[in-house]
Amino acid sequence: MTWEGTNPALKSILLNSHTDVVPVYQEHWKYNAFSAVKDADGNIYGRGTQDMKSVTIQYIEAIRHLKAAGKRFPRTIHLTFVPDEEVGGKKGMETFIRHPEFQNLNVGFALDEGLANPTEAFTVFYGERNPWWVTVRCPGSPGHGSRFVENTAAEKLRRVINSFLDFREKERQRLNTSECFTLGDVTTVNMTMVNGGVAYNVIPAEMDVSFDIRIPPTLNLQEFEEQIKAWCKEAGDDVTYDFAQKAMNQTTTSTEDSDPWWKAFSSTCKSLNMTLVKEIFPAATDSRFIRAAGLPAIGFSPMNCTPILLHDHNEFLNERVFLRGVHVYENLLPSLGSVPALSVDT
């Protein structure tokens, strides 16, 4: 959807949201997860209320109100509704951003989803951790389950797991012992799959283990991969690894007061008496593809005083918080749409 500005030659504003949601375990929900039940406290329960149907509707409602008031701004505003974000975005934003149709949008700045904040503050994300999904394959000597076979796959697998999880523990301690760190500032490592074996009494010829790793922009990616290589070498002969996903772009968006986009965003929030907390997003959103294309993007969902429940049972958003979010965008869009012409606009 496009709301053309009075000077469409200027770089445009992109309001991105994804239309897909994760599955539910209905037996753990108070209400039908797809009925949008509102309780006596004004809490609206439903899958996607936080991630990210609310933001999608807030964009639309804010623009509807602004258009009804006869407003129009120099910069064009585009709304994109993309699929597949919850499964990596490869058939959604990652593909779309390479197409001429995206280039024709002439984007200068983008907003995308953020996270709820349980406090009075609002969290703003200017970068993301890189997701690496790696599988380590451990070949070994097979044999009968009654023997002490040397050089087994399981022995190598144990060394690999220990190396990865020892690193995980060090990062966990860094997070828990310093008030300076948020989840987006450290590397998380989680073992997610183990495969191998055909029978109780057969020592397998190969076993493999998979890890979900999320790496902050402050960690050197090449050096970290060298560490993975070293762990594999230490585990034994012929241990190899491969990636199911390996994001390599560590671009962040400027939050300096001298940056015109950030200044327009943050000054508007300040005028609304909103406290902003700047963080690296701990997971992954479509913003990473936008930043990788060289475009500034901010992750922001105006949901304060709200527990973080994306992908959780009983995901909800209070109607008061939701409606205030519409008001927030009604103020943000005029500011962003009226950023004076920049060097990138010529």
List pLDDT tens digits, range 18-76: 999 999 999 999 999 999 999 999 999 999 999 999 999 999 999 999 999 999 999 99
Half-sphere exposure of 147 (CA within 13 A, CB side): 11
- pLDDT band per the 50, 70, 90 thresholds, residue 176: confident
Q: What is the pLDDT of residues 72-131, one digit of tens each?
A: 999 999 999 999 999 989 999 999 999 999 999 999 999 999 999 999 999 999 999 999
The mean pLDDT value for 265-283 works out to 97
Q: Report yes or no: 52 and 301 within 8 Å, Cβ to Cβ.
A: yes
Say which DSSP state 97 is in: T
Residue 250: name the closest of 227, 280, 277 by CA: 280
Q: How far apart are CA 214 and CA 128, in angstroms?
A: 9
20 counts as catalytic: yes
Cβ atoms < 10 Å from Cβ of 292: 16
Instruction: Tell me the pLDDT tens digit for each residue of 306-336.
Output: 999 999 999 999 999 999 999 999 999 999 9
Confidence of residue 181 (pLDDT cuts 50, 70, 90): confident
Which residue reads 């690999």 in tokens?
Answer: 160
- Look up the pTM and report it: 0.92
| Mean per-residue pLDDT of the chain | 96
Cβ-contact 299, 112 below 8 angstroms: yes
Domain boundaries, the chain: 2-128+252-345, 130-216+218-246
Identical fold for domains 2-128+252-345 and 130-216+218-246, yes or no, is no
The CATH number assigned to the domain with range 130-216+218-246 reads: 3.30.70.360
Assign domain 2-128+252-345 to a CATH class. Answer: alpha beta
Percent of the chain with pLDDT over 70: 99
Active site residue 85: yes
List the catalytic residue out of 39, 51, 84, 85: 85
Catalytic-role residue among 20, 61, 206, 312: 20
Quick check: 133 pLDDT over 90? yes
Q: What is the pLDDT of residue 177?
A: 81
What's the mean pLDDT in 279-305?
96
Strands (E), the chain: 2-3, 12-18, 37-38, 43-45, 77-82, 107-112, 122-128, 130-139, 143-144, 188-196, 202-203, 206-215, 240-246, 276-281, 297-300, 316-318
Question: CB-based contacts of 114: which residues, under 8 Å, 6+ apart?
Answer: 123, 124, 125, 281, 299, 300, 301, 303
E strands present in 224-339? 240-246, 276-281, 297-300, 316-318
What are 201-231's pLDDT values in tens digits?
A: 999 999 999 999 999 999 999 999 999 999 9
